[in-house]
Amino acid sequence: MGYGDKIGTMRGELRALYQAAPAATTGFSALTKGVMDSGPLGRKEKEFIALGMALALRCEPCINFHVEALIKAGASREELVDVLGVAIQMGGGPAVMYTGHALACWDELTAARG
């Protein structure tokens, strides 16, 4: 299954969760919107921070979503690779494995955009 398919599957699962648990998920959505839409940092910088956290926590669906968000925010592959280097430095061997996922996800999603 490709990264685009994984993102689509996760979105479907999240839609079902949001319908099943609206009280919990509505609050999380409001928190996310509040954090991402305010403050001195831009969306791209915040998405790089979120990606770093996703890599550290080894959350592959989070990695995929934040890589996709970075593409939409106008990040470059070079910026992504620079952040992946910091993640490797901070996380050691396990981070190397997950940064590989992030790079492969970027390459697949940007190739699909043609």
CB neighbour list of residue 7: distance below 8 Å, 6 or more residues apart: 61, 64, 65, 68
Residue 41 in 3-state DSSP?
Answer: coil
For domain 3-112, give the CATH superfamily. Answer: AhpD-like (1.20.1290.10)
Output the pLDDT for position 34: 96
Contact 56, 96 (CB under 8 A): no
Output the pLDDT for position 5: 96
Output the pLDDT for position 95: 84
In the chain, where the domains are located: 3-112
Q: pLDDT for 19-67, tens place per residue? A: 999 999 999 999 999 999 999 999 999 999 999 999 999 999 999 999 9
Q: Please choose, from the candidates 11, 7, 69, the residue with its C-alpha nearest in 3D space to the C-alpha of residue 36.
A: 69
Average pLDDT over residues 74-102: 92
This prediction has a pTM of 0.85
